[in-house]
Chain A
Amino acid sequence: MTGPLQGVRVVELASFWGAWAGRLLADLGADVLVVEPPGGHSTRSFGPFAGDDPHPDRSLWWWYYNTSKRSVVLDLDDPLDADHFRRLVGGAGVVLEAERPGRLAALHLDHPDLRAEQPELVWTSVTTHGRASPRSSGPWTDLTMAAASGLAWLNGYDDHSLPPMRGRGNQTLQITGTHAALATLVALLHRDATGSGQHVDVSAFAACNVTTESGTFAWLVAGETVQRQTGRHASVNPTMDVQVRAADGRYVTTGFLPQDAKDFQALLDWLDELDLRATCPEVVFLQIGVERGGIDVVKERDDPEVIAIFGAARAALVHIAENVAALTFFEGAQHRDLQCGIIFSPDEAYENSHFSARGFQSTIRHDELGRDVRYPGAPFKMSASPWAIRRRPPLVGEHTGEALALGFEAAARSDEQPPPTQGR
């Protein structure tokens, strides 16, 4: 079975801010030709590297953001290559680029130049602040974007002498790329219905600004500013700590605290199973919670007994967590219908039996290295047109010859290769 975007042809100019969008489209089945400058795109110099060998074809950063694409090397400043670029665009339905505003116009390769001949073309421009903003010509990184857009303000510790925190994983470019892919598909659906293409202007700054939950709506609605806290939502008023170091040193989160009688009973039974009831503080209030038939901590917040019961449930979860391994706590709580979590490192989640049972591990052959490589799998499982990594990330200019000779036609031939294996 082929992906949902089978037959969609995309010319992508290799970039930092647009790479994730291209990958999303490629893994969903689009034929994405990523155009790199001679020597390969600068993100190929980003580590980590396979075997710690800083070779442009071994950048794991490049691998992560460029699965399923083909690579064509073109020097857009060279008129001959600029013609090749025009020809490739002529066979494409979508252009995806994240060039600084003005660069393509100076080369007469911008969307007004090319869409004039090709009104059905969808042209997606990704910039840091929108095509019209002078700030899109400035230097921006994942960190400064997280700081500027409000993301960083929300993360950190109760101790405010410690700085706000960025998250790992290049999240600002993934937020941006996801929005670029979304808007491109909206334009594609319109094109499929009417035959008309259009220009799509995507702003990283705008995308991150609207990915801040109460960091934005608390201000918009109530003029309030939330403050960061360790391991839980930033909040206008401080809330109770939810993060606990389990007996094996790993952390868990107590999640939503229970309020139903059946949950209080489950906690009592769990304490008994572990022989921890005697050492659990305020356990008598759990029993009262059962006898009351549960509590509603919002409606009954003025009742001291309700607050004591709520606190006892939290104390019981903390007590259990401190006495068992993190995974035991997480699975034990969830089997008892309590919404708790474990703080896995990414590699632990990847090896966890649930994720592997669902086939999340995607094994792709890297012939050039003589080995298989395990990649992360689908963001969602489509029953009729599945997501798949259709080819390993391309070597620098690996497909230049076939693309310049055949345009997009070469894809059909390449698709005859046996599909990569999914799962283990």
Chain B
Amino acid sequence: MSQATALGHVTICDLSGQLAGAGATRYLAAFGARVIRVEDPVRQGRWDILRGSMPHVDERRGIELGGAFNNHNVEKLGVTINLRLEAGRDLLRRLVAVSDVVTENFASGVMEKLGFSYGELRSIKSDVIYVSNSGFGHAGPYSRFKTFGPVVQAVCGLTFGVGAAGAPPAGWGFSYMDHMGADLMALAVLSALVHRNRTGEGQWVDMSCTEAGLGLTGPDLLDYTVNGRPLRRPGMPDSNHSDHPVMVPHGIYPTEEPDRWVAIACRDDQDWAAFAEACDQHWAREARFAATAGRADHEAQLDRLVSGWTSSLRREVVASRLERAGVPVSAVTMSEDRIEHDPDNDDWGLFPTVEHPEIGGVRVDGIPAHLSETDWSIKRGAPLLGQHNREVFAGLLGMSDEELSALQADGVL
């Protein structure tokens, strides 16, 4: 690589998949880590349900054409190893021996069954960093329970915190904890690398995605442990309002067009005065609304009045008027708005185009940090199944053509 990379010296033997695992190693690969994604040739990598699944760029279908899989596996190398065979497990041992990090997000117990517990990994490479990300972790009464994003979010308390007052949970309309699980898993890898580089010591990081999620529920949790005030109480979760800090009005309001919305947050009385000026409605000047406490007392009524005003305008108009007045505001953007028509996302280069051997050129998620000396680079799409078998097994492990042919013939690759 021509450009300096921050993680070019790091090799990762990556058994992870989906988004909760693949998202972690994707981040590290973008900063130059050599991520070797190991897939199962027998099931054609379909343990990862995203391999081949939607969305697709055109009518073509097949295990190489899954759009989400491509997004989550950019800049990685792809190899196949059949771990049902002793020869396959031997090959994985050779790969572990040259890796700094082993990552996986199987259900707990799977690695032990395959013969790759932390103890065994450590006997192969004494300072190995092993990071496992499972739904409930490798110990505890629920450790064998199985999860995917929506179940993680439900159990950890995050789903409960999304919804209208007194209504059933609306929940997250996507696998939020696959993203945050992946990001925190990457944080675990990086922290463990810092520790190893300073002490020479590897370790096992047992990440439980539900536990990580419970740690993201915010100050509400301390309101319970300190004040004995649980979030399951009348009038909750009411998540479009803001009780901490108190902001009124604070919500997502309808506009002139159906199902187009605008978010408004008046942080204090100054914001409210600016709002009143900008919207120029008689009710906005009523004395009972002048102070936060008064607005909070009449929150439902005020929401109706604000909705009445916003409903007469397009969301862009509401947003630009309040923005000029210095009030926090934003249209609720849809995918196209922010991906195609946002100057900041353009300037950032947030959606780089990668080349994928079968899909062709397609845009993917970028990284939300720019580093002045060792920035990320995302150019290469996800690997085809076994695409880099030769590069890794011959180039990195030094195997001969004969050995590779034999492994191929024996169904190991």
Would you call B366 an interface residue if the criterion is a C-beta within 8 Å of the partner chain's C-beta atoms?
yes
Which residues of A sit under 8 angstroms from B70, Cβ to Cβ?
221
* 6 A-B pairs closest in CB distance: A169-B218, A221-B67, A346-B157, A168-B161, A147-B263, A183-B369
Contacts of A157 in B (CB 8 A): 164, 167, 170
- Verify if B203 is at the interface (C-beta below 8 Å from A): yes
| Complex Cα–Cα for A46 and B219 (A) | 10
Most buried by B among A7, A61, A155, A353: A155
* B5 nearest CB neighbor, chain A only: A190
Interface centre among B139, B155, B212, B339 (most CB of A within 10 A): B155
Check A198–B374 contact: CB distance below 8 A.
yes
Any A CB within 8 A of the CB of B221? yes
Decide yes or no: A64 and B374 within 8 Å by CB, A186-B31, A255-B148, A348-B232 being known contacts. no
Q: CB-nearest residue of chain A relative to B223?
A: A48
A183 to B261, CA, bound (A): 33
Give min CB distance, B173 to chain A, whole Å.
4
- What CA separation (Å) do A132 and B349 show in the bound complex? 13
Bound state CA distance, A190 and B7, in angstroms?
Answer: 7
Looking at the complex, which of A101-109, A174-182, A272-280, A415-423 is the stretch in contact with chain B? A174-182
Docked pose: A355 CA to B197 CA in angstroms: 32
B2 at the interface (CB under 8 A from A): no
**With an 8 A cutoff between CB atoms, is A226 at the interface?**
yes
Q: Which one of B245-253, B280-288, B403-411 is at the A interface?
A: B245-253
Interface residues of A in 325-380 (CB under 8 A from B): 330, 334, 337, 339-350, 353-355, 357-358, 360, 373-380
**Known A4-B194, A165-B163, A165-B170: A206·B345 in contact at CB below 8 Å:** yes
Q: Please determine whether A178 and B263 come into contact, CB atoms closer than 8 angstroms.
A: no
* Bound form: Cα–Cα A343–B160 in Å: 6
Asked whether any CB of chain A lies closer than 8 Å to the CB of B224, the reply is yes
Contact across chains for A153 and B31 when beta carbons are under 8 A apart: no
Contacts of A259 in B (CB 8 A): none
Residues of A within 8 A of B208 (CB): 358, 380-381
**Does A287 sit within 8 A of B, measured CB to CB?**
no
Chain B residues 233-255 with CB under 8 Å of chain A are 237, 239-240, 242-247, 250-254
Is the Cβ of A51 less than 8 Å from the Cβ of B161? no
What residues of A have a CB within 8 angstroms of the CB of B7 in the complex? 186, 189-190
Whether A210 lies near B222 (C-beta < 8 A) is no
What chain A residues lie within 8 Å of B178 (beta carbons)?
A: 213
Bound Cα distance A132, B345 (Å): 12
- Is residue B22 within 8 Å, beta carbon to beta carbon, of the partner chain? no
Residue of B150, B210, B225 near A233 (CB, 8 A) is B150
- Give Cα A29 to B193, complex, Å: 14
Inside 8 A of A141's CB, which chain B residues have their CB? Answer: 242, 247, 265, 267, 328
